[in-house]
Chains A and B, each alone.
Chain A
């Protein structure tokens, strides 16, 4: 027996582990508890959100149900409701006996069919088979055919005895095959007739129910108590579970994670955005739920349910529009993607519209996205586009280059085709046989036709480049004209004190050293044109000028007055200090026609032409859109100033009056130091280099720099730029810690993101130079400070954040192929020329003029026309002509072609043909008109009808000619509506019919009254006393008048005018 080791040496005894094991067990238990706790409360914060939402929403619904029930009870107690309800009952009861009878009949038919069907199917099968067999026997086998025929007839003759159900019991009835067939068809026909009869029977009951429903809906809109109760039930029974939107379009990168589609779990916390819980008809806010003050209660429903109608959640989810990490659920920070490992953080509230830009980059105006629209407007108006290329924005210069290249390419193709033709013909001549020869001749012929087609293509390209040359506009004025226009001393002052001198200017403030200012001013001055000299103008009547400025429509774009006295639009310059800097003679020419240049510019020769060039060819020094070719080489010239400002077609006297008013607008203490250095030729070269460096030619036309490109970064995809490529310079650490450049703490925390970069850069473009040692001014960041406020910065930031390199599938991009493409394209022109300064174009949009004091209350009548239905109203052929020449006359230009009675006047914009086409298509598309246009036929009037229309037109009860212009000056002085003679060419008959019957529907508040016609037996009848000769007319009175208007001739109108005062209609 071996020696047992002493007990105390046994490790179990000497080194027991139970303590450790106990501790481990405890630890294990704790871990399990911890993991369970974490499972239910820690890792799934959405659980507590859902629990809380369930209780607050249920409370809210209970309150709503109680209120709604009370309202419903009150309504049910009203006599009106009870009357309607009684009607429903009566109608239901009235239909009941007949209904029951029909149901019984149908029931009987069903029973008969049930009995009939088995033998009928059996017989039909047999007969069908025999018929088939009979057809299979060949014609010649007469005997076989005859015997089969007999079999068939026998089968048809077989009779079936059926227990036939009748209205009272059953009776035995015999059927052969034909009986079965006929009875079956008869049963089916009869049943269909009965079902339709039952529907007619129920109609009055259904109508009564519909009337009751409408009555309730009108008085108590929204969800009824039953619907609310249903919601309450579904909320109370709601499972606490992860809510996920799952979209898997094939092969896409949506939701930013490689190729597996969209997974958004946002609704797990944002519970109220689930339409099953909160239907689109109700919008839920935190205040509704009584948690308004709680920042950790994400229980708001989507505030714009309309938006979700065309961006359904099941396709778009949440994160494609809002940003954020749609899959993350563990913390708010991670779900919102606001951490360093997620590239697409949730957009902040000020920049929500950035989401729209991702797919709507091709739109100038995106509905539901006002901030984004403002951003785009600013990007153009403040001249950002002068330095930064942005695809879709005014890129006529790029297009022009591309078009010219296309022309060159086409010409070389044409040349090689031309060379090919004789070669092919020669091959044909020498061919060995006729087939081969003809083949060659055919090829040669095809080439000649191809050349003909190339010629028409080239012609279109030439026209396009002509258009593009005309469409290129600059944000700032033409600096070639400064010697004509500006007081010399003002220029260096302006360069240094841009925003101070005119606080609303578009021009950014450049960071310039005094010597840079001098050099730039000197270059601008010395490179500018010195002549031919402007004609000397006599002073005008400034008081009249003020009146004209305030009434002709100038204030739709320009403003006058400073500070709180400012009145007018922000699209163009504030004119309150024009007198301090401008020359009177130039101002007169500018007001008269702002597009007029001192000299035309030849892009081919790269210089401005003068009278001497024209004289060499014996031509007068005349250049305008009709004389736009160079006398030297025939190339297209730039014949207009590159401004969007139109010509108001004012007389030279009126232009002098306005200029005289403007030239008097100045501060009494205006003074600028003499600037003799501007004539120092030594400064010119330095100035030119600086002007090139700072990119002045992006916004201004400058002599010698006409072909300069943009100096800034392209921003088309700026929102996709990796953060590492943005240089926060010395503020990188501060940005990450949430400290502003001035040392204060930010309100939103760290700003080391695209939003932070853009906002700081826009507020102060020099910010990322702070603290750096840059002794040479040219090494500094050269972006000037844009003249933008906080809201403007938000708007531009929003636009840039959304300008991403498409991370969404191509079919998410808004590039409509139908007529909406016309709308999309048109907005760029509408915003380019600020049409909305004067007109209402979009439903609900307000023009600048509508907000001015002189167009309030009853003076609204003096506003330019509302264009919300323009495409449906006017004939597009007419609109083309009108847009090209709003005077509708080649001789009498100092007037408006349609509304000569208005003080405000549609100016001439000198649109290119392409712009006119785009605008016409835009208005047509907005009004859902088919294109190309085919005019609606207007039935000519018979002599009797013409007589009736004439009587109606001139009856005292139809005062058409009291307001509408007639062309007689005495009458037209007080006219407030267009001349009827324009109708034929200008209007569309269908719209005109809708207009005269209810104009208040189309343009609420218009001077034209509604109620001139009333509806009677499906047609319109004049509501006043009807003229004698029309009493028996059964046609449509409105239609008669429209047809009359569309056939009106000047002679007929004169006849009418003679008659207005004499004809009287007797009352009926």
Chain B
């Protein structure tokens, strides 16, 4: 009897120990939660730093090709010069445009105010403007049709919900959001197969798309070590580590090599 009591006590202790271990292990990891900007403290702007830099392109970029818009006279009319593909668009001084630059790191302890002002993508002359854009999860995307033809906007995400809506000329903007981070969602118009855009979605505000000068500035970064990642539709991704001290500003240059892969 005593013996079995002992066994029982031992079993209880063991079970309790196991349960407490299990409890710890099963806590949801916060980085995996899609809506990460609900918990945590705001970033202290007094100590926050900045990451700046530019994206370079090494080598000769592939020649852009002309797009034949004869199938859509409404759009062909809108252009006086031939429209060209946008898969590689060099910037000033050997830089590269349309690159999404973003920080990878642990932001789980911070909360960010929800982004509420809509980001617009315009369908104009049967092209997307901008060609590459980035926004936060839950941030409204406003799809505008400025053409005298019907488009359909069809993002083909891996991790987000897929949708495909038609938008006739003069229609109200379509408002949509993306719930989960993803780099980058291809967007297309099935009616005009040459139309192509990419949307990067992030659950923090640390991203930017390079413009004409190929530069980027990411502000209000809490001190810490991060991976600066540059994503380009033809060249893929390229990483660089950066450590930001309190109120520090650091510059990073990432270089893509012009390869034949882009001119398929």
Contact = CB atoms under 8 A, between A and B. Distances in A.
Interface of A: 287, 290, 292-294, 857-858, 860-861, 956-959, 962-963, 974, 976, 999-1000, 1004-1012, 1023-1025, 1061, 1064, 1067
Given A857-B158, A860-B156, A957-B150, A1012 B166 contact: yes
Contacts of A1007: 154, 164, 190
A1009 B18 contact: no
Contacts of B149: 956-957, 959
Given A293-B22, A858-B156, A956-B74, 9 more contacts: A287-B22, A292-B19, A857-B158, A1007-B190, A1008-B164, A1011-B165, A1023-B168, A1064-B148, A1067-B170
Given A1005-B164, A1007-B190, A1008-B190, A1024 B171 contact: yes
The 6 A-B pairs with the shortest beta carbon distances in the complex, nearest first, are A1024-B168, A1009-B152, A1009-B166, A1007-B190, A957-B168, A1011-B165
A1050 to B, nearest CB: 22
A293 B11 CA distance: 11
B97 interface: no
Nearest to B149: A956
Contacts of A294: 15
Contact of B165 (A292, A958, A1006, A1009): A1009
Contacts of A1067: 169-170
8 contacts: A290-B19, A293-B22, A1000-B163, A1007-B154, A1009-B154, A1009-B165, A1011-B167, A1024-B168
B93 interface: no
Contacts of B148: 956, 1064
Nearest to B74: A956
A1064 B150 CA distance: 12
B191 interface: yes
Contacts of A1004: 162
A1023 B171 contact: yes
Interface of B: 15, 18-19, 22, 26, 71-74, 148-150, 152-154, 156, 158, 162-171, 186, 188, 190-193
A1007 B163 CA distance: 10
B156 A857 contact: yes
A1014 to B, nearest CB: 10
Contacts of B163: 1000, 1010
B147 to A, nearest CB: 9
A290 B156 CA distance: 41
A1011 B166 contact: yes
B164 A1009 contact: yes
B169 A957 contact: yes
Q: Interface on chain B toward A: helix, strand, loop, or mixed SS?
A: loop
Contacts of B153: 1009
A343 B190 CA distance: 62
A963 B158 CA distance: 24
A1000 B154 CA distance: 11
B71 A962 contact: yes
A1010 B154 CA distance: 10
Contacts of A293: 15, 18-19, 22
B168 A1025 contact: yes
Contacts of A1011: 165-167
Given A292-B19, A858-B186, A1009-B154, A959 B191 contact: yes
Contacts of B168: 957-958, 1023-1025
B165 A1010 contact: yes
A861 B171 CA distance: 26
A1010 B162 CA distance: 12
Contacts of B18: 293
A1012 B165 CA distance: 8
B19 A1010 contact: no
Given A962-B71, A1006-B164, A1007-B164, A956 B169 contact: yes
Contacts of A1012: 166
B159 to A, nearest CB: 11
Nearest to A962: B191
Contacts of A976: 190, 193
Nearest to A290: B19
Nearest to B153: A1009
Contacts of A1064: 148
A980 to B, nearest CB: 16
Contacts of A1061: 73
A223 B85 CA distance: 55
Contacts of B26: 287
A1023 B158 CA distance: 29
A46 B169 CA distance: 71
Nearest to B147: A956
A552 B148 CA distance: 38
Nearest to B161: A1004
Nearest to B192: A962
A1009 B190 contact: yes
Contacts of B150: 956-959, 1024
Contacts of B192: 962
A1025 B169 contact: yes
Nearest to A1000: B164
Contacts of A957: 149-150, 168-169
Contacts of A974: 71, 193
* Residue from the set A293, A861, A957, A959 with the largest chain B CB neighbour count within 10 Å: A959
A428 B151 CA distance: 84
Contact of B166 (A287, A857, A858, A1010): A1010
A29 B201 CA distance: 78
A1024 B163 CA distance: 19
B142 to A, nearest CB: 16
Contacts of A1009: 152-154, 164-166, 190
Nearest to A1024: B168
A293 B165 CA distance: 49
A963 B191 contact: yes
Nearest to B71: A962
A292 to B, nearest CB: 6
Contacts of A962: 71-72, 191-192
B170 A1025 contact: yes
A1024 B169 contact: yes
A803 to B, nearest CB: 40
Contacts of A290: 19
Nearest to B163: A1000
A1010 B171 contact: no
Nearest to B148: A956
Nearest to B194: A974
Contacts of B72: 962
A815 to B, nearest CB: 40
Nearest to A956: B149
A857 B186 contact: yes
A1009 B148 CA distance: 18
Nearest to A293: B18
Contacts of A963: 190-191
A1024 B190 CA distance: 17
A1023 B170 CA distance: 10
Contacts of B152: 1009
A993 B191 CA distance: 20
A1012 B152 CA distance: 9
